[in-house]
Amino acid sequence: MEELHEECGIFGIKYTEEAARKTFFGLIALQHRGQESCGIAVNKNREITAYKNEGLVNDIFTESVLDSLQGDMAVGHVRYSTAGGGGVINAQPLTLNYIKGSLAMAHNGNLINYHELKKEYEKTGAIYQTSSDTEIIAYTIARERVNTPSIELAILQSMSRLKGAYSLIVMSPQKLIAARDPWGFRPLCVGRCADGAYVFASESCALDAVDAAFLRDVEPGEVIVADQAGLRSLRYGDKPPSSLCIFEYIYFARPDSYVDGQFVLEARMNAGRELARQSPAQADAVIGVPDSGTAAAQGYALESGIPYVDGFVKNRYVTRTFIRPSQSMRELAVKLKLNPIARHIAGKRVVLIDDSIVRGTTCRHIIGILRKAGAREIHVRASAPRFLHPCYFGIDIPTENELIANNHSIEETRQYLGADSLAYLSLENLLKIAPDAKTGFCRGCFTGEYPLEI
Amino acid sequence: MEELHEECGIFGIKYTEEAARKTFFGLIALQHRGQESCGIAVNKNREITAYKNEGLVNDIFTESVLDSLQGDMAVGHVRYSTAGGGGVINAQPLTLNYIKGSLAMAHNGNLINYHELKKEYEKTGAIYQTSSDTEIIAYTIARERVNTPSIELAILQSMSRLKGAYSLIVMSPQKLIAARDPWGFRPLCVGRCADGAYVFASESCALDAVDAAFLRDVEPGEVIVADQAGLRSLRYGDKPPSSLCIFEYIYFARPDSYVDGQFVLEARMNAGRELARQSPAQADAVIGVPDSGTAAAQGYALESGIPYVDGFVKNRYVTRTFIRPSQSMRELAVKLKLNPIARHIAGKRVVLIDDSIVRGTTCRHIIGILRKAGAREIHVRASAPRFLHPCYFGIDIPTENELIANNHSIEETRQYLGADSLAYLSLENLLKIAPDAKTGFCRGCFTGEYPLEI
Amino acid sequence: MEELHEECGIFGIKYTEEAARKTFFGLIALQHRGQESCGIAVNKNREITAYKNEGLVNDIFTESVLDSLQGDMAVGHVRYSTAGGGGVINAQPLTLNYIKGSLAMAHNGNLINYHELKKEYEKTGAIYQTSSDTEIIAYTIARERVNTPSIELAILQSMSRLKGAYSLIVMSPQKLIAARDPWGFRPLCVGRCADGAYVFASESCALDAVDAAFLRDVEPGEVIVADQAGLRSLRYGDKPPSSLCIFEYIYFARPDSYVDGQFVLEARMNAGRELARQSPAQADAVIGVPDSGTAAAQGYALESGIPYVDGFVKNRYVTRTFIRPSQSMRELAVKLKLNPIARHIAGKRVVLIDDSIVRGTTCRHIIGILRKAGAREIHVRASAPRFLHPCYFGIDIPTENELIANNHSIEETRQYLGADSLAYLSLENLLKIAPDAKTGFCRGCFTGEYPLEI
Amino acid sequence: MEELHEECGIFGIKYTEEAARKTFFGLIALQHRGQESCGIAVNKNREITAYKNEGLVNDIFTESVLDSLQGDMAVGHVRYSTAGGGGVINAQPLTLNYIKGSLAMAHNGNLINYHELKKEYEKTGAIYQTSSDTEIIAYTIARERVNTPSIELAILQSMSRLKGAYSLIVMSPQKLIAARDPWGFRPLCVGRCADGAYVFASESCALDAVDAAFLRDVEPGEVIVADQAGLRSLRYGDKPPSSLCIFEYIYFARPDSYVDGQFVLEARMNAGRELARQSPAQADAVIGVPDSGTAAAQGYALESGIPYVDGFVKNRYVTRTFIRPSQSMRELAVKLKLNPIARHIAGKRVVLIDDSIVRGTTCRHIIGILRKAGAREIHVRASAPRFLHPCYFGIDIPTENELIANNHSIEETRQYLGADSLAYLSLENLLKIAPDAKTGFCRGCFTGEYPLEI
């Protein structure tokens, strides 16, 4: 029922006791980034063993599985995947042998020159056992490694070949290495535990999960090596404008994470404040679509002076495996997940904050539910601009045809949704929500202009 | 990590298409009342078939299992159970054959004369295959039925034999029957769907889940029969003072449910308001322990004028199967589940609202986490009185010895918790939080005086 | 694909280390008697715990399950069951509480007055949670026990109430008790291990499996108690003619078992010898349908002087869970299970020994397979008379209508099977095959005259 | 408990309905060659999908799994694997993408230049995701394919690079191809179904399973292509002496298979006849260790005139997952699997035929069991020479140290076993047992002289 999905969350830790168990904690903190499959690879005396499966971290990694994963270095992965590319075979970390022994790799992102590289390597006899671009990254690094004195340099050199989004954690026999593409599409940060262990993670909330202090974000185009000598940094020469995916703030990241300097929860509240200034409404209450719309609704309420109220109770037991109901029960299923608190809504003019409107179907069901719960007027405010173009960098979105904004004017969309008014946060205002961010942003899904040529 | 557990949630529906699927929806809405095992029994042409297993509703009832449960009448159950009494063998609904054919029974509550009745029936050759008191209720009804003209009268007559808490839904070959013990310990209500189907459920939120209109609560001592003639009510003659478990308002029920006339979310906010009046604090922010403390914190904030802030992000992926970490990782595990939002806490004097303090260990960990996140002062306010006595009516609580209030003064408890101040809502004020409730309350756990002789 | 099924195998052991593991060995030895579900109950300090599930003994009882079953007394069960009466709920041993504490019961057989007793007990308020007659036996014993000074006397007194086939092993808090119905339909024997532990089992091959010495068969109408004082025997007064099911020799029992004094393998060879004398054939080779037809074929060969050859290789990986192929692949499936050794058959006149012809479909497929493998003539000899009547004592057979002998003359059957000649062992000759047996036989399925009024 | 294991069985079929289901039948017929994991890959409109898992064919391939495998061409695999190299990751068929699209490969055998090739390819940037040599074969073929006009020529050219044992079935988008190494270590044959579909299989018994007529064996160094044009054959130029593993006759292959022209059952009987001539014994009965010793025992009996008797009943429910019992129960576990028929043994002088003596432990337990069953004398005859050297071509054997023949003279071995006499079939006589075989044999494990330099 969710409308947007990102591909993954990654986590790595080096030199610590119970490395697998701490990675397990880190992955649970990152579970919101991917619920389809998960995996942990550990390194004991330079030997890598891994366990991967489909399911949630807490279901897959039982006590006995964790006990079987001994080692003082580990890398983990949670994965969402699009239909067809799933299954255990594509679960990560990818583990492999190459010229220098074992490697484990966890990847978040999406290559755009996947097919080009695949074809190139095939011509020298390469074989592919997965359908993921992670395997292409692995090949690229392995090929560079043949004539490069270290794994970290091989990764750095691979950057000139890899086009697209990739936040990587690579575990070699002796090193744990984080790398982030030169555009910085996907987040990645580094921290340190009290026992001196270094930690890499997609979001800072995963550092919190193992009580690691946040050190800093991995910078776009940076490779950070953790080994016995401590941390070292290498930088890729070419410096394109940084292009963090702004949906990390709006939707993907956990509210208690810092991403590239910006506290996510505040970015969401800022989006609500901007919306209130830009598109005010005459209303009695502000409500948000849980979870990501809640903070924006609180921001809207604070800025507008209209009281914030809880509009829904979200049922946490409606998980991603919830059986797809027949058409006739679709609205009932949405209501099962988001039960309206009629007492807060009945007879009121409400502002409804949603993080984004993609297909529009779920939003339409929600509006129907609010009407039945007695809402007098419903003013929809989206905390992102109209979603018009595909994403090539790791967000799984419908085809352009299915994007409601592509075929409908705002007024048509309003009618389809059944709202009394509808407004989107403008791109200009969106760019104001993260004043602490040290990056620029990719805005391709709104404008069709991407940081790289597609 | 939760400190209190109730035994069950129950749901039944009669004369509708897809009765099993609707019961599935109802059970997902009641999943918070029990996560250990679940089951659904359906009735097709007077024949009852059931499926029960350990696990969550959404995991157990796959599409193919639901497809195998055909019928136009169904009863379902979610169960929490104490160690030793678990397992599939004790999962419900209990299905059985007796003199009049098949029965399925779902039960929420706890008998106090279980052993007495068990011994009595044994003397006539009874055998018991479970360790649950539901089987004793079934025997009682089956024995009454032998000389009673209808199942509903047999249930009514059983009421003079059964001492304790029982909200029941019984499915006979042709009827669906709800019954609530004369004290009304556990909630039970009735609703009607647009297609005319009658629904019984522990809480009104489960009526919402199937789009049923709330009709009314089942009254203490009442038996309601749904059959082809519609609804009929029978009443047990003896009328003890009604004694709803007040923890339904404080903790168990979902905030969007109405229980015996009172909207639960408001009762929680009222508890916060009462606390603010009774035990004010000099502070900069009010935070609540999610989920049940949140509404009380909002009430406290509104009454006191101190701003409410979100203190934690709750990780929904730390479920009840989360592996029990070693002592050294216990606090880390609490933090994994409740990550503090340091930005909202650091340098502040905070009021922390918890629904109740039972053992005190989790509260202590939370306070430790808040300190590390930079809280300057922590003023703990519990939205319930001191928990001093065992519950005999269906709440699974620690032994009296483990109840921190039993061995420690309030000052000692404050020191143990590491709080700057500590106050409990008084019993007198607690009784004010549910002005719309049409019932009296059991207050045994606070006073040791129970509605029945134990 | 098998045509006859018996209900169960039972095993019990008292006072030994690793009682559960030895029961596991015993059940594996008895697995041929039932492959649908299995269970073991153990007794430790008078407390009974059990584990039951659907599947094969070796799959269900993993190391960790066995480790969880501590105690020095145990009872186990393997079960075949007819459609509808299966499922975990009907798996055995049945464990229960009654007036004197816990009981576990394992049962092989079938009551014929099940409905009568069920109705009688219902009138006093009994409830039934399974659909097996074992629960009725348990009720009968529990009711007798109320006014009887010991469990063994209660079992003995129950014998006057229970009509039908029952070999029972009952584990009470302090005793292990074996009982066999007065007609002795199903086998049961007793042995002793080197460490002094007493063992009860359906067949002597299960005594071998735990290195127990065979002591003797439990006699029809006998109750044997194993407790701290050793073994004691009680006998039911009424002595009907003993009526062992003769199919134990022909088909059910393992060839290496002794049943009521007769070595099973020799009984099968004797059947072959009798057949050779009664119905000779002009042929070049004798082959048997594995497994039970093999010994009879060897007997036929020895008596007739025609050489015995292996006619088939039986594929052991075609198990009872083998997916039911479409009609068009049915013969292929039979051939997958029984691949003919063409080199032994081609161009030859063969005598084919089958243990019995029930529906005839499998035999017909086998004959088709032999023809394709080049057999010139096929002379079918069945080592049992024509199967004409239902069994009420524990064998799951098709309805009378489906018994080929009921609707077809021998000549018609021969034509249906596609055989060149067909003969059945006569009842008179059948009764000669077990000269060492100390019992009489039930011949109901051949004659329609049963030892009890049906 | 078995002492020798081979790695695999392979099966492929082209242009037929229900290709997956027929492959399922074929794999069940080959299950004796590997019970650890299995898999089937199908090809529908040039797209390959696969399902692989650990377990037996009949457990893994449920109706719904088979239904999901649509296509008119399929390849399947059953695998035994040594510790460490197991797991789903190494299950076959290996499926991959390469320069010409998809491939699926099933392999039986073992490369000896695995490490050499692995190192060579690594230098060009190759990565390995499994630990099986099948991946190396795939790389070799993929690399050859880059500059070769067809997949079959690429396979043929790979033969000059691959040293060791490999029977292969390769499925490309449009072709099904069988290849056998130039030495012919492992068997492979081809057949045709009535509907014209071509079938490749490790043994002819798998052709029987799908009612395919045997056409011929794939010859050493031959590549056979099945495509729309029918069958075509290519031959590798270099012609080393053929070297079939003789244990295929003694132990691995099913008795009803023809391997390279020789009927396996007769080869086993011949071994017994040779043994009887070479090493006669004064005895009353000949018995064989089931299953592979049975035919040899029958041959010994026929040649010697000493009667053959069944010595054991083999329990088919003791499978490879049988839990490893503690030392004290080891002999009991052997007896559970092979229960002696005391009636056939007691008081007799027996000749015991075993197929080979590797470690000697199981044989010793069996002799102990026979002694307890009353055997007066036990004369052990092994139907293979002394096992002295490791196998590099696909048989999993103990280390040289564990081979009893390496550290013990025949007399010492006899004493260790507890036999009255002991003799091994001589190599010279062994070579006589397969008069119909059109191949030479590898005799490395007996002589240390291998067909290839190791």
**For A128, which DSSP code?**
B
Does the CB of D66 have a partner CB in chain C at under 8 Å?
Answer: yes
Q: What's residue D150's pLDDT? A: 97
State whether C138 and B146 contact (CB < 8 Å).
Answer: no
Chain A residue with minimum CA distance to D143:
A125
Q: What average pLDDT is seen over chain D?
A: 93
- Among A316-330, A414-428, B206-220, B380-394, the minimum mean pLDDT is found in A316-330
Q: What's residue A213's pLDDT? A: 97
With pLDDT > 90 as the criterion, what percentage of chain B qualifies?
81
Chain A residue with minimum CA distance to D119:
A99
Chain D residue with minimum CA distance to C58:
D322
Rounded mean pLDDT of B151-159?
A: 97
Question: Contact, C308 vs C297, CB < 8 A?
Answer: yes
**How many Å apart are CA B266 and CA A422, to the nearest integer?**
31
For the cut 90, the answer to whether the pLDDT of residue D160 exceeds it is yes
Q: What's residue A7's pLDDT? A: 72
State whether A339 and B62 contact (CB < 8 Å).
Answer: no
Residues of chain A with C-beta less than 8 angstroms from the C-beta of D128 = 96-98
For the cut 80, the answer to whether the pLDDT of residue D328 exceeds it is no
Residues of chain B with C-beta less than 8 angstroms from the C-beta of C125 = 98-99, 121, 124, 139, 142-146
Predicted confidence (pLDDT) per residue in D373-399, tens digit: 999 999 999 999 999 998 999 887 777
* Closest by CA position to D407, among listed D340, D357, D444, D366: D357
Question: Contact, B271 vs B282, CB < 8 A?
Answer: no
Taking residue D441's Cβ as centre, other Cβ atoms within 10 Å add up to 24
Predicted confidence (pLDDT) per residue in C47-59, tens digit: 999 999 989 999 9
Residue with tokens 């050199």: A157
**How many Å apart are CA B138 and CA B95, to the nearest integer?**
9
Residues of chain D with C-beta less than 8 angstroms from the C-beta of A146 = 122-125
Alpha helices (H) along C354-443? 361-372, 404-407, 410-417, 427-430
Give the number of C-alpha atoms closer than 13 A to the C-alpha of residue B7, restricted to the C-beta side. 28
Does the CB of C122 have a partner CB in chain B at under 8 Å?
Answer: yes
State whether D208 and C332 contact (CB < 8 Å).
Answer: no
**How many Å apart are CA C347 and CA A67, to the nearest integer?**
63
Backbone angles phi, psi at C314, to 5 degrees: -90, 125
Predicted confidence (pLDDT) per residue in B201-240, tens digit: 999 999 999 999 999 999 999 999 999 899 999 998 888 9
Higher pLDDT residue, C253 or A237?
A: C253
Q: What's residue B83's pLDDT? A: 41
Rounded mean pLDDT of C53-78?
A: 93
Q: What's residue D1's pLDDT? A: 45
Backbone angles phi, psi at A411, to 5 degrees: -65, -40
For the cut 60, the answer to whether the pLDDT of residue D84 exceeds it is no
Give the number of C-alpha atoms closer than 13 A to the C-alpha of residue A406, restricted to the C-beta side. 16
E strand residue ranges, C218-336: 222-227, 230-235, 244-245, 258-259, 262-263, 285-288, 312-314
Taking residue D47's Cβ as centre, other Cβ atoms within 10 Å add up to 12
Q: Hey, is B296 helix, strand or coil?
A: helix
For the cut 80, the answer to whether the pLDDT of residue C7 exceeds it is no
Q: What is the amino acid identity at position B72?
A: D
Q: Give residue D436's pLDDT band: very low, low, confident or very high (50, 70, 90).
A: very high
Q: Give residue D85's pLDDT band: very low, low, confident or very high (50, 70, 90).
A: low
Higher pLDDT residue, C268 or A395?
A: C268
Predicted confidence (pLDDT) per residue in B430-446, tens digit: 999 999 999 999 999 99
**How many Å apart are CA D343 and CA D82, to the nearest integer?**
39
Does the CB of C127 have a partner CB in chain B at under 8 Å?
Answer: yes
Question: Contact, A288 vs A295, CB < 8 A?
Answer: yes
- Shortest Cα distance, chain C CAs vs residue D251, angstroms: 15
Indicate which residue of B8, B38, B245, B442 is catalytic.
B8
Rounded mean pLDDT of B377-389?
A: 96
Q: Give residue D2's pLDDT band: very low, low, confident or very high (50, 70, 90).
A: very low
Alpha helices (H) along B79-199? 114-122, 133-146, 151-158
Q: What's residue C198's pLDDT? A: 98
Rounded mean pLDDT of D247-265?
A: 96
Backbone angles phi, psi at C193, to 5 degrees: -80, 165
- Shortest Cα distance, chain A CAs vs residue D84, angstroms: 11
Backbone angles phi, psi at B331, to 5 degrees: -65, -35
Chain B residue with minimum CA distance to A254:
B313
Residues of chain B with C-beta less than 8 angstroms from the C-beta of C139 = 125, 127
Rounded mean pLDDT of B21-46?
A: 95
Q: What's residue A4's pLDDT? A: 60
Cβ-Cβ contacts under 8 Å for B452 (sequence gap 6 or more):
B112, B163, B164, B183, B240
Residue with tokens 């897959």: A60
Residues of chain B with C-beta less than 8 angstroms from the C-beta of A256 = 313, 339, 341
State whether C336 and D256 contact (CB < 8 Å).
Answer: no
Predicted confidence (pLDDT) per residue in C10-33, tens digit: 999 998 889 999 999 999 999 999
Alpha helices (H) along B34-113? 57-60, 63-67
Question: Contact, C31 vs C45, CB < 8 A?
Answer: no
**How many Å apart are CA D166 and CA D440, to the nearest integer?**
17
Q: What's residue C400's pLDDT? A: 81
Q: What's residue B325's pLDDT? A: 65
Question: Contact, C403 vs C397, CB < 8 A?
Answer: yes
Q: Hey, is B144 helix, strand or coil?
A: helix
For the cut 90, the answer to whether the pLDDT of residue C215 exceeds it is yes
Predicted confidence (pLDDT) per residue in A16-34, tens digit: 889 999 999 999 999 999 9
Q: What's residue D142's pLDDT? A: 97
For the cut 80, the answer to whether the pLDDT of residue C4 exceeds it is no
Question: Contact, C429 vs C373, CB < 8 A?
Answer: no
Name the strands in the sheet holding D164-171, side by side, starting at the edge strand that comes first in the sequence. D94-98, D101-111, D164-171, D176-180, D222-227, D230-235
Most confident among A85-99, B356-370, C410-424 (mean pLDDT): C410-424
Q: Give residue C332's pLDDT band: very low, low, confident or very high (50, 70, 90).
A: confident
Beta strand A73-79 with A47-54: parallel, antiparallel or unpaired?
A: unpaired
State whether C29 and D341 contact (CB < 8 Å).
Answer: no
Alpha helices (H) along B182-263? 204-209, 247
ipTM of this complex:
0.92
Q: Residue B427, exposed/middle/buried by CB under 10 A (0-12, 13-18, 19+)?
A: middle
State whether A319 and B256 contact (CB < 8 Å).
Answer: no
With pLDDT > 70 as the criterion, what percentage of chain C qualifies?
95
Question: Contact, D340 vs D332, CB < 8 A?
Answer: no
- Shortest Cα distance, chain C CAs vs residue B114, angstroms: 14
- Shortest Cα distance, chain D CAs vs residue C207, angstroms: 10
Rounded mean pLDDT of B44-66?
A: 92
State whether A143 and D125 contact (CB < 8 Å).
Answer: yes
Q: Give residue C84's pLDDT band: very low, low, confident or very high (50, 70, 90).
A: very low
Residues of chain C with C-beta less than 8 angstroms from the C-beta of B125 = 98-99, 121, 124, 139, 142-146
Q: Residue C117, exposed/middle/buried by CB under 10 A (0-12, 13-18, 19+)?
A: buried
Taking residue C237's Cβ as centre, other Cβ atoms within 10 Å add up to 9
Q: Which residues of A348-380 are buried (b: 16+ CB within 10 A; e: fewer)?
A: bbbbbbbbbbbebbbbbbbbbbbeebebeebbb
Q: What is the count of residue pairs from A and D with beta carbons less than 8 Å apart?
A: 80
Rounded mean pLDDT of B141-168?
A: 97
Chain D residue with minimum CA distance to A104:
D129
Alpha helices (H) along B311-409? 330-337, 342-345, 361-372, 404-407
Q: Which residues pair with D74 in a beta bridge?
A: D13, D42
Contacts 24+ apart (CB under 8 A), D302-308: D302/D269, D302/D272, D302/D273, D303/D272, D303/D273, D303/D276, D303/D277, D304/D276, D304/D280, D304/D351, D306/D281, D306/D351
**For D128, which DSSP code?**
B
Q: Give residue D239's pLDDT band: very low, low, confident or very high (50, 70, 90).
A: confident
Q: What's residue B81's pLDDT? A: 64
* Closest by CA position to C112, among listed C392, C340, C425, C450: C392
Predicted confidence (pLDDT) per residue in C234-247, tens digit: 998 888 999 999 99
Q: What's residue A16's pLDDT? A: 84
Residues of chain B with C-beta less than 8 angstroms from the C-beta of C133 = none
Question: Contact, D445 vs D395, CB < 8 A?
Answer: yes
- Shortest Cα distance, chain A CAs vs residue B363, angstroms: 18
Q: What's residue C324's pLDDT? A: 63
* Closest by CA position to A132, among listed A4, A34, A210, A252: A34
pTM recorded for the entire structure: 0.92
Distance between the two ends of chain C, CA-based, in angstroms? 29
- Shortest Cα distance, chain A CAs vs residue D182, angstroms: 24
**How many Å apart are CA A177 and CA A407, to the nearest integer?**
45
Question: Contact, D445 vs D389, CB < 8 A?
Answer: yes
Q: What's residue B323's pLDDT? A: 66
CA dihedral C261, C265, C270, C271 (to 10 degrees): 110
Q: What's residue D323's pLDDT? A: 66
Helix, strand, coil: what percent of chain A each, to 5? 30, 25, 40
Q: What's residue C227's pLDDT? A: 93
Q: What average pLDDT is seen over chain B?
A: 93
Chain B residue with minimum CA distance to A316:
B316
* Closest by CA position to C358, among listed C439, C303, C417: C417
For the cut 80, the answer to whether the pLDDT of residue D186 exceeds it is yes
**How many Å apart are CA D22 and CA D24, to the nearest integer?**
5
Cβ-Cβ contacts under 8 Å for D413 (sequence gap 6 or more):
D357, D360, D404, D405, D422
Q: What's residue D132's pLDDT? A: 86
Rounded mean pLDDT of B128-149?
A: 94
Q: What's residue C83's pLDDT? A: 41
Residues of chain C with C-beta less than 8 angstroms from the C-beta of D332 = 25, 209-211
Question: Contact, A256 vs A214, CB < 8 A?
Answer: no
Q: Which residues pair with D196 in a beta bridge?
A: none
State whether D98 and A126 contact (CB < 8 Å).
Answer: yes
Q: What is the amino acid identity at position C345?
A: I
Closest CB to B336: pick one of A25, A32, A263: A25
For the cut 80, the answer to whether the pLDDT of residue B12 exceeds it is yes
Rounded mean pLDDT of C221-238?
A: 94
Question: Contact, C73 vs C15, CB < 8 A?
Answer: yes
Does the CB of D64 have a partner CB in chain C at under 8 Å?
Answer: no
Beta strand A395-396 with C176-180: parallel, antiparallel or unpaired?
A: unpaired
